[in-house]
Amino acid sequence: MIRKQLIIINKLGLHARAAAKLATLANEYDCNIVVKANNKSVDGKSVMALMLLAAAKGTEIIIECTGTDEISALEKICVLINNYFDEEE
């Protein structure tokens, strides 16, 4: 298992569109992906679960990946989040 701590930096936080982008990306990988924030842990492959984190801008999250392609998955997820979910900022 590998993990990384990140900060949600996009203006709208982990809203529906951002959650959908994250879940879509996560579903491209075989490894298990867990996202933690606000004392909650959710399946990173579920849009609804990600939205339940209520992760606004500035929220600290932890991404945990476990499985054969965990390194690649974590790298791509970090790029997505650090690129503001490809939204204009």
Residues recognised as catalytic: 15
3-state secondary structure the chain: CEEEEEECCCCCCCCHHHHHHHHHHHCCCCCEEEEEECCEEEECCCHHHHHHCCCCCCCEEEEEEECCCHHHHHHHHHHHHHCHHHCCC
* Tokens 């791509």 belong to residue: 76
